Amino acid sequence: MKKFIRSLALMCVLAFGFPLFAACDGGSGGSGTTPTTPEEEGVPQGYYTLLSHTLGGQDVSGRYLYSYLQYDGETVRQVGVTLAGKTETSYPCTETETGLSVSIGVRTAAYAFDEAAKTLTVTGTQNRMPSTEIFAYNAQYTAPAAPAESGVAFTDELFGESLDENFYNYCPTVMTEGGDTMHIWYCSNEISGNVTDYVAYRKGTLQADGTWAFTEKELVLSPSANGWDSRHTCDPSVIKGSFAYGGTEYGYLMAYLGCSSSNNTDNEVGIAVANAPEGPWIKVGDEPVAKYIGSGEYVSGYWGYGQPSLVSVDGEGRVLLFYTKGLQSSTSVYVEYWDFSDLDNMQRLGGASVSQNGLANGYIFNNADFAYDAARGRLYCLAEAPCVSSDPSFITPAQILYYVDFGTEEEYPCATLFGGTYVWTKYGEVNEAATGYARNHNGAIVTDAYGRITDSMTVPVVYTVSILASQNTDDGRVGSWPTLHSYRLHGYVFEGVL
């Protein structure tokens, strides 16, 4: 079952056709005010916050949670924080007629100063690609202070209860807002040892050292007293937008898997709305939006519909809803185009099976999460690798990242997705070689609030790790607990995506 990153560009209109905007104050601690023009001549001393960064012709500003330069007349100190961690360098420099001459080892770099704009421009190469960074002078900026106690690195275990208890944490959906906030909704249980799925929520706050501090677990969506989702509610996917329901406008939409069975069958997909990430979340109607029972594909005792993934089309009410179909005849992923602007009169605008062209033999899309890169017209998919034969046999060893290029000339949502022929390309895997864990499963792509990639050259993901049954030394656990209790969330960043 399964079911970030603030852009530092000033304001941009992506291929979705609606504006994205975020202040370029360099992250927490910045005021976001208009830089004050200094009185002294030459290059002003003080802080310069990142305005833009292009790498290999791509805008990669969105990878930075914050980034700034500090010039004190003798040295240039540069600090950058991404999900991959914090980097900090300091080099001696001298002022020139055109800006700063910075000594980096045996070479010299020129930092060009624009007196009118009060910017420093740094050109060079990174990862063998041409790079241009522009930093704007900000007299009001205050660098984030180091925390008294560090949080957790994005690639470490993000949170979780003691492994001495029988709680599980898996199937996340991950959204970032404002550059220093990470929202994670995921699947967990309320009572130790009781396998009843709830949607849980934690808020992460970025620390000055690049780590994250998370709040305590809140259970924000629970099984209903009766009806189609009375046994489990899990596998959340959340986006922002504008969704009217019962006379109230809501800003967040959640798709989730629900069922009334205890044997992992007859799953269906429902939706809920809220005006804050932590809720309260209100379920929409008494029926699922993707209804398996009673459909023409229904056969009692089979898995059904679930593991939803949402991507916004317009930043308002139109969305793509992806979900897995586990049928008697096959397993696949389906996509539906919905207008959820008025949830009392929601409209299904189209649907189609997601192509599996390009997948290796034996691979099928399931338990998949999707995200859109508007700068490239590219759709990403993070999906499960085939399960292994034992220890245990129902958990996959790897998450695989695929993509398909529809191109920016094709209006989104891409018509080809609903009726054309397209081929997926594999980019990489989150596997044991990358993580050190033999089981890597139930993952999600980290996106902005609308299900979009903000940096075209990195794709961050959050995935679930678990131990092997043979690694559990507690013989008192029975059933699924030899592995289920170890389900915990970690982060990983695919770098250098081309």
260 and 118 in a common domain: no
Least confident of 7-16, 328-337, 453-462, 483-492: 7-16
287 and 217 in a common domain: yes
C-alpha radius of gyration, the chain, whole number: 24
Q: Which residues of 325-339 are buried (b: 16+ CB within 10 A; e: fewer)?
A: bbbeeeebbbbbbbb
Give the residue-averaged pLDDT of 331-360. 96
Residue 132 has pLDDT above 90, yes or no: yes
pLDDT band at residue 1, thresholds of 50, 70 and 90? very low
Task: Tell me the DSSP string of 145-169.
Answer: PPPSS--B-TTS------TTS---E
Least confident of 48-52, 277-281, 337-341, 409-413: 409-413
Predicted pLDDT of residue 27: 38
Query: Is the full-model pTM beyond 0.95?
Result: no
Predicted pLDDT of residue 481: 85
217 and 96 in a common domain: no
Predicted pLDDT of residue 456: 87
Predicted pLDDT of residue 24: 34
Total number of domains in the chain = 2
State pLDDT tens for residues 222-265: 999 999 999 999 999 999 999 999 999 999 999 999 999 999 89
Bridge partners of residue 104, in order along the sequence = 107
Q: Pick the residue with more confidence: 474 or 494?
A: 494
Look at the chain and count its residues.
498
Q: Has residue 149 been placed in a domain?
A: no
CATH of the domain at 93: 2.40.128
Q: Coil, strand, or helix at residue 383?
A: strand
401 and 470 in a common domain: yes
- Rounded distance between C-alpha atoms, residue 335 and residue 321, angstroms: 6
356 and 245 in a common domain: yes
Q: Which residues of 132-170 are buried (b: 16+ CB within 10 A; e: fewer)?
A: ebbbbbbeebebbeeeeeebbbbbeebbbbeeeebbbbb
Bridge partners of residue 68, in order along the sequence = 49, 79
State pLDDT tens for residues 7-43: 323 223 333 333 322 333 333 334 344 444 445 679 9
184 and 68 in a common domain: no
Q: Which residues of 346-371 are buried (b: 16+ CB within 10 A; e: fewer)?
A: beeeeeeebbeeebeeebebbbbbbb
Q: Which residues of 87-111 are buried (b: 16+ CB within 10 A; e: fewer)?
A: eeeeeebeeeeebbebeeeeeeeeb
| Environment class of 216 (CB within 10 Å of its CB; exposed 0-12, middle 13-18, buried 19+) | exposed
Structure tokens at 48: 């310069």
Sign, Cα dihedral of 218, 314, 419, 358: negative
271 and 221 in a common domain: yes
pLDDT band at residue 188, thresholds of 50, 70 and 90? very high
Q: Pick the residue with more confidence: 2 or 97?
A: 97
- Given 137, 153, 184, the domain boundary residue is 137
453 and 403 in a common domain: yes
Give the residue-averaged pLDDT of 400-419. 94
Predicted pLDDT of residue 420: 85
Give the distance from CA 266 to its chain's centroid: 28
- Given 93, 117, 137, the domain boundary residue is 137
Q: Has residue 145 been placed in a domain?
A: no
Residue 170 has pLDDT above 90, yes or no: yes
- Given 93, 122, 137, the domain boundary residue is 137
Give the residue-averaged pLDDT of 395-422. 94
- Rounded distance between C-alpha atoms, residue 233 and residue 238, angstroms: 14
174 and 129 in a common domain: no
Least confident of 155-169, 237-251, 323-337, 476-490: 476-490
- Residue 61 backbone phi and psi in degrees, to 5: -60, -35
174 and 132 in a common domain: no
Domain, as residue range, for 90 = 11-137
217 and 325 in a common domain: yes
Predicted pLDDT of residue 26: 37
The mean predicted confidence, pLDDT, of the chain is 90
Bridge partners of residue 52, in order along the sequence = 134
Q: Has residue 150 been placed in a domain?
A: no
384 and 464 in a common domain: yes
Q: Has residue 363 been placed in a domain?
A: yes
Is 416:385 a contact under the CB 8 Å cutoff?
no
Predicted pLDDT of residue 213: 96
CATH of the domain at 251: 2.115.10.20
Q: Has residue 158 been placed in a domain?
A: no
Least confident of 173-177, 209-213, 309-313, 359-363: 359-363
Sign, Cα dihedral of 210, 211, 217, 221: positive
State pLDDT tens for residues 275-327: 999 999 999 999 999 999 999 999 999 999 999 999 999 999 999 999 999 99
Q: Has residue 151 been placed in a domain?
A: no
Q: Has residue 233 been placed in a domain?
A: yes
Predicted pLDDT of residue 2: 41
Q: Pick the residue with more confidence: 252 or 471?
A: 252
Predicted pLDDT of residue 92: 97
Q: Has residue 153 been placed in a domain?
A: no
